[in-house]
Every structure is written in C-alpha cells, then in structure tokens.
Amino acid sequence: MRTSADVKLEKYDLELLEKDYDRISIFIEDTKKLDRIGSRVNKLTKGAILRAVSSKEFEKKTCGEVLTLSFPSVLQVKYLDLVKWSKSVKPSDARKAGANLAKKSKNSKILVCASAQKFSEQLIKGYLLRRYEFTNYKTIEDQGATSVTLMLKNPKDFEKPLLETKAVVDGVFFTRNLVNEPANILNTVEFSNRLKDLSSLGLKVEILEEKKLADLGMNALLGVGQGSANPSKVVVITWKGSSEDIKPLALVGKGVVFDTGGISLKPASGMEDMTMDMGGAGVVAGTMLALAKRKAKANVVGLVGLVENMPSSTAQRPGDIVKSMKGDTIEVINTDAEGRLVLSDLLWYTQERFKPSSIIDLATLTGAIIVALGYENAGVFSNDDEFCNSFLKVANQESEGAWRMPLGASYDKKLKSRLADIKNVGGRDGGAITAAQFIQRFIKKDMPWIHIDIAGAAHTKSESAFAPAGATGWGVMSLNRLVSEKFENNK
C-alpha cells in the first residue's frame, strides 16, 4: 500500500544548514531584513541570498512561490530554495509552498527550515500531496527514496499533527492508487480484496456477494453488472470510534470498475478513461482508511457498490424494467446511465440496515457536471441546507472545489416513464440535476443527504495544484475534516 514520504522532525539548529542535504528550503518574509536562518545562509553564500531576493524575478513571485539557486558556494547542498513568504500568510499559501517545493525535490534528501513559520501542518500536507507518483507499471530504475527533514522550534508539539496529516495523505494516496489502476488489474474481485485488507487497520470489512444481493432485492445494481464476467459485489466498511448508541455517518460510493456504457456503447475515443468510474468508491475507501489511521472518535460506515458495465449476450438492454430494493420499478432507457442504478439500491440498503444520522454519496456520475463546472469543482446536491453548508465550508478550507447545484420537483417530470415508476434518464438538458433527482427518490423522508458528482474533479488530464495528471483523490480531505468538525465526540 502506497504511503506518504518519510518526514523527520528536527529542533531549530543552524548547524543543520551545513549538513549534506541535496536541497535546503528557507523562507523569506522581509527582503531587506533577513531572519537568523536567512542571515546565516546569506553569509555562507557570500551575499547570494540578498542579491537573489532583491531581484525582479523574486519580486514578481507571490506568497508560496519558490526561487531556486543552484550549487550555492560553501554550502554542501546542490539547490537552495527561497520561498517567498508574508506576514499575512494564509493556510492556502503554506500548502501551495509545500506543493511547489515538492515539484522541485524528486528523490532528494531535503531540509525545510520552517522554524518560525506559521501553518507548518499545511506546508507539509502540500508537500506530501504533491510528492505522489503512480509508477506501478513503468520499468524504471530505483532512484532512491526521498526523505524530508522539517526543522521546527518545537518539534515535539508537531508530532501528533504530523501523524494525523500523514494519515489523511495516506487516505488520499489510497484513493489515487485505486482510481489510477487499469481495469484488467482492478476488477471487482481485486477491488474487494484490497478493501478487505483494510481490516488490518481496525476496520470491519464485509463483502456481500451476488446471491446475497439478489436475496436483498438489489436488482437495479445487479442489472448493471449482469453483462460482465466479473461478479458484482457490495463492500461494507465500518469504523466504530465512538459509543455504540451514536448513529453513524454513512458514506456511499459508486464503484463501476469499467464503464463501456453497456449496450448503449460509449464512443471509442476517451473510453480508456473509464477506469476512473469507480472514483466514488475510491473516495469512500480512502476516507475510511484515513479515519482508521488517525483513530477518529466517530462512527462512520462506508459502502461501495462494485460492478462492471459491459456489453454481452447477458447484458442489460435499453427498455428493460427492473425492480429496485425499495420496490420502485425503473425503466432503463440508457444503459450508460448506470451509476444511479447502483446508488439507488445501495442507498436504500444503507438506510434500511444502518439507519444513519446522515448520508453522503459520491459518484463519477455525469458528463453534464463537467460541462457545467469543468474539472475544478464537484457538483454538490442536498436536501438539507445546514448539512450542505457544513460540507461546502470544509471543502473550501481544504482547497477542494465544490459548488452547490439545484434540486426541485419540477425536474421530476423529465423522469416520468410510460411503463414503470421512473426512467433512468431525463434528457440532455439539466442532466446532472435530473440524475440527482433520480437518486433523491431513494432517500427517505427527513434523512439529511448530500449527493456529490465528482465526474470532473476525480480525474484530470493535466496536473492540478496538489496532484500530477490522473487521479486527484478529491474528497478524502474534505470528508475527513467534516467528520472531525461535525461528527467526532458527538459534536
């Protein structure tokens, strides 16, 4: 299992500046009056620091950006990173600084002099997040591990925050690894096996096989996977960090390990990206890992529906009618609108069995949300303003883009079926909204609910602020923070 880079904590010591690090990073808050570290390095480099920070190049940089000097005199280091800082620095600046340093420091022994800096937790989080690489299938030479030494005035005080930060970053990496995997490796069986391994962290993991799902009446979910040789599964992951009588928060994820569109076949161009259609399940898994690693004092249950949507002689057809676990009948107009079918049964089962305090589902559900919001924001739908606002607040704090989208009964008429209780698509216009309206039909009255469409945010063609191109791990940090602020210790 991929984990975040090794981080060592050292007490403030100017002698460390003359050790054999590959890179040293220092922070420049005042270009005219350097602090003790800056003054020491400036002296060792014969005035190079003051010359560099007085340059037009450094002046143009914003807080958190980096200017690098190569092979500075006297110092043993190969590179000296000068981070532009400010007295009015924000947490987002610190995280940006960490990410910028990480992009420069591949396979290096690094000293980050954060002795007098605010937001060290955000700095190291940004660094660790951006250090991620997915190289499982590349034949490359082992270039050695990266070690990061963080120099602080009071390193003991940072030990617990560092452990918690690494737990969350490990959760993000677990999600990214799952989403980046090819479908011939991460089929439904392998996915469920990797989730089963989470039991070593103290999580209870239960796998429901097809016979059990059929007995429960999960015909909507089973219909999606009936054309695949890989069996459909539901995996239940439980974390009990609080008293038994506190109802859990439920996290529910769509886990379509590959989506051809089924009989309603997708175009060939771009279909290779459909390995990421299990992104919602990946976020749920990564969040549960993070909660377990940091031993969250909350009760949380995560459920993922693992299916593969393939065309074959046994595949579901457009025009088929299935009966959901709830009892509603669904006319399948388009077999490529499969995620909502998976969620309909999964959400109903979650509420029937666990009776959660509230519920959040995540899914790479619609291309329409990408048209509406691009790749910078996930679409957030909710029936509860307070709950929704709590999530939007933490998403903003974690720099994970999220934008609330509308719901309304007027959209329901687009889902009316001539033959069944409901049909699974409502046309091109408002496609992300009608998908959310469909899902809301399977949420019980008075159940606080959030649906998050992460089709754009889960996977990007180009690098983002804290991840290389590919899987972003979007959502793990926000959900972890939501649990911390709203659900831990019965807050």
User: Annotated catalytic sites, by residue?
Assistant: 266, 340
Residue among 169, 176, 172 at smallest CA distance from 148: 169
Q: Where are the alpha helices (DSSP H) in 25-156?
A: 36-44, 48-53, 56-59, 91-104, 120-130
Residue among 186, 181, 187 at smallest CA distance from 134: 181
| HSE (side-chain half, CA atoms, 13 Å) at 271 | 13
What SS3 class is residue 338? coil
Residues 80 and 69: beta-carbon distance below 8 Å: yes
Residue among 383, 387, 378 at smallest CA distance from 475: 378
Residues 217 and 289: beta-carbon distance below 8 Å: no
Residues 81 and 23: beta-carbon distance below 8 Å: yes
Q: What angle do CA 394, 249, 450 make, to 5 degrees?
A: 60
Residue 261 to residue 230: CA distance in whole angstroms:
16
Residue 298 to residue 420: CA distance in whole angstroms:
40
What SS3 class is residue 90? coil
Residue 244 to residue 225: CA distance in whole angstroms:
35
**Count of CB atoms within 10 A of residue 381's CB?**
23
Report the run of H or E that residue 286 belongs to, with start and end.
Answer: helix 279-293
Q: Residue 17 carries which side chain, given as an amino acid letter?
A: L
Rounded to the nearest 5°, which phi and psi values hold at 414? -70, -15
What SS3 class is residue 461? coil
